[in-house]
Amino acid sequence: MQNTKGVSNIRNIIKFTLNHNGEDSLITYVFDNPEKMNNSNVCYSGRLPKYDNEAAVSGKFASDYGFDIGDEIELEYGSENYKFLLTGLIQTCNNSGMECVITQTGAAHLMDLTYSPAYFWFDCDENVQVDQVLDLCTEKYSDHVVSTMNFHEMLEGNMTTFKSIASLMLVMLCIISAIVIVIILYLLIRSFVYNKRRDYGVYKALGFTSKSLILQTALSFMPSIIISSVVFSVFSYYMANPYMSVVMHSFGLMKSTFIVPVPGVILIGISMIVIAFFFSLLQSLRIKEIECYEMLIGE
């Protein structure tokens, strides 16, 4: 692989499961050199391990069990155990956010790695097809290659699923918001028209048409609706990331930043205003039922 054109940053990784207190399982990645990891942001606090007595664990695990950087944690593999110094906190969605990273020299305290199955991860230049490199390795070492994986395709599939879920959540929140707005307007306008029925009867006697009164009533609610939409659009823009961070904590992502599209926030705010306006017109149609003659005689 080192002699393959366009292939770089080859690293050897062994994966197995360690235990803590005999019951809590941590999927553990054993790196020949953790600094070769492309995603340095996976360690959001502290640093990745360098020496044989160091380890980094997921932030969710550390939070659940009260560990912090600088503490010692005892990890077990079968009958063997060893105390590691926590040098960093990582974030991951795998295994419900329960993962660990140690070095190969550190793993040697718990097991013999001589015959452990290993993964070889590598990077490809933009002009190199990943599948071609994988096929080349499979063809040359078919008896020794257990499986291959194209991480580009896997990540693309995972991101598609995540985008679908995020889009569904956004649509559901918009629908719920629209329903709440409609219910509130229904109660307000119904009560407003009922209490103002005498005034509407007088207006009709003076020559105002039902159409003009309906439009005036609907527009009278718009200033408060517009102000509310603007305020809560700004509030949502700045609170989206803190809210999503709380949600993602349960999956193991302790520090995440999502790009909130300003045009999308503006579009949703305008949509809410338009929905509120048309529903206000719809509810204001009750004014047509008010007769000016009957109202004046009633007085």
Which tens digit of pLDDT belongs to each residue from 38-67? 776 788 888 889 888 999 998 888 888 888
Lowest mean pLDDT across 115-119, 157-161, 225-229: 157-161
| pLDDT at residue 24 greater than cutoff 80 | no
Kindly indicate the confidence band of residue 27, based on its pLDDT and cuts at 50, 70 and 90: confident
pLDDT digits (tens, 9 = 90+) for 141-177: 777 777 788 877 777 777 777 778 778 888 888 898 8
E-state strands within the chain: 7-20, 24-31, 43-46, 54-58, 72-77, 80-90, 99-103, 119-124
pLDDT at 94: 73
Closest CA to 195 of 121, 127, 287, 109: 287
Most confident of 6-15, 81-90, 116-125: 81-90
Task: List domains and CATH numbers for the chain.
Answer: 7-149 (2.40.40), 161-298 (no CATH)
Looking at residue 86, what is its pLDDT? 93
Q: Are 7 and 65 in contact (CB under 8 A)?
A: no
Look at residue 299 and tell me whether its pLDDT is greater than 50: no
User: Closest Cα partner for 273 from 189, 288, 281?
Assistant: 281
Provide mean pLDDT across the span 190-214: 82
> According to the model, what pLDDT value does residue 120 have?
84
State residue 252's pLDDT score: 64
- The label of the residue with tokens 């079968």 reads 78
Q: For the chain, what is the mean pLDDT?
A: 82
- pLDDT tier for residue 87 given thresholds of 50, 70 and 90: very high
What are 264-294's pLDDT values in tens digits? 888 988 998 999 898 888 888 888 877 765 5
pLDDT at 85: 93
Tokens of 206: 């003076």
Using one digit for the tens of pLDDT, what is the confidence trace for 235-248?
Answer: 888 887 777 777 77
